[in-house]
Structure 1
Amino acid sequence: MSLDAMDWVWTKSAAKGTARMVLLAIADKCTDDQCTAYAGTTMLVQRTNAARSSVVAAVDKLLASDELRVVEGAKGPRGETVYHLPHAVGHVRHTSEESRFRGPETGPAQNPDRSGNRTPGGTETGPEGYGNRTPTGPESGPQNAYERKHQPEQQQPRATRSPLIPELHPLGDALAVAGVAVRWSLGLGEQRDVYRLVQAHGVEALVDLAARRTAPGTDAKPARYWLKVWGDLDRPQSARPGPNVVPLRAPNPAAYTDNLAAGLALLQAQKEGTAP
């Protein structure tokens, strides 16, 4: 149920910023068809990586919008508040969305009858008359032939990137326009870290830093590399290498020679007793 509740937040909720992240964190803990979950403020602070005051303000905003309600008289195992997502009740993800996360099935389910023939109907029969083939051996049977033919299709979704959350679409589009190729292969938690940097510094700052670190014709770099680079924006300005660093000046050879000659002359005068 948590995936259906989270999908409602992604596709239907009007919450923005920290409030949206708080709502996602609560939806992730829903375990029943009524979309209820207990969540303490400390847990929400840890999951959203936001300040405690921001989380409290976000919860108040969600309660005011009626996208979140408090279940009166109910408490979690440690006294946590029990919340209810009323508008997410009954929401079901689309099949296409489910296949993006789960990938295709490993093969059609076998349902043989007593005669050894597969039961016709639906997708059980498989492509190209698969259900009507006569097996000739364990290696050449229809199940193995079907799996060998579609094995690349089954393995391909494992190498694909995780879906990019809608909040990061402006960043992805701006990077593409700036000529910075990125391989988006981040998990949901890492994407939340990127979104926090977007909120703190803005899309323009992240794109500008990535563009300055990218040479023309450079191959696409993984998003985890850019997440580490963008993390430098959180460092104090004095700790960042940049144009504000003043190089040491090279010594002046002529001035050094003059000072040496004057020092030797003073020592000679003191030795002869003529120094003032």
Structure 2
Amino acid sequence: MSSEAREWVWEHSSSRGTARLVLLSIADRVADEQCISWASLSSLAKRTRASVSTVREAIDRLVHAGELEQLDDLIGPQRSTVYRLPLAAKAVAETAEEDEDADQTPEAAPEATPALRISALRRCGIRPREVPETPARVRKPAVPETGRSRRRPAPRRTGNRHSNVPKTGTQNRSEPDLNRRYSSGAAVLSAAEWTVDPATHAWARQQGHFDRLGEQGLQAADAKWRAHRAGFKPRPTDAWAADWRSWVAREHSPSRPNLYAVPGNGPAASAGMTRAEAHTAALLAALDEPTGTEG
């Protein structure tokens, strides 16, 4: 029957452009002589190579022209929209009646479109849409009207339900309140208690600090770091690891010569040192001296 519906579109439809392509695509899925078809906007847009909004406008023009009907009380496969070509259905019905009464006196053709036989459409996957006749009276007993649970809601402004839990801060009173950045459950230790973990040790080797400082130099840097961090408040292990890495990255190699250009702080400068070299040595000495604000 789709061939007869397409033939009617080609021969009798007044549609043009995208509307004509949309009507042909719908007629291509006609299943029986009732000229009922189903399609989704996305499938029609794909077949006609048009946008969804353009297809929607074309359907509105076809419905306004009377060449297409959108049957909202029916639903197709995959919850698609069901359409009917009423003029094509009328033409198919007239042709069938003429074939049956070819040997008899022809009667006047019916003007109205034949009534739908929904039972014959079930084999095509088209069925009535499940909509209650009276939405105000017909309700689903298992689902509340608002879609919420039937459980009684807690009364408002009842205060804290658990008396042993503080209103603010952590639930465990023995757990200290920390910065949210380090409040993921990591252990809180002092600088003296913290030990270099394997990941930090591997980082020192990968970054070349172990080869640059050597084992003794790395131990000296660790001891210097612990001496300067002795008065700091306890921190999580991740925070100490990040601070220790920053310290080691700035630590100079023990093999680097110490230049002292400030009188009284070390050996005298070489006799051949110029004023510029003396100033440079003074700056290097100042950079080597820890300030206590590292990390």
> Fold conserved (TM > 0.5)?
no
Higher gyration radius (CA)? 2
Q: Which structure carries more helix by proportion?
A: 1
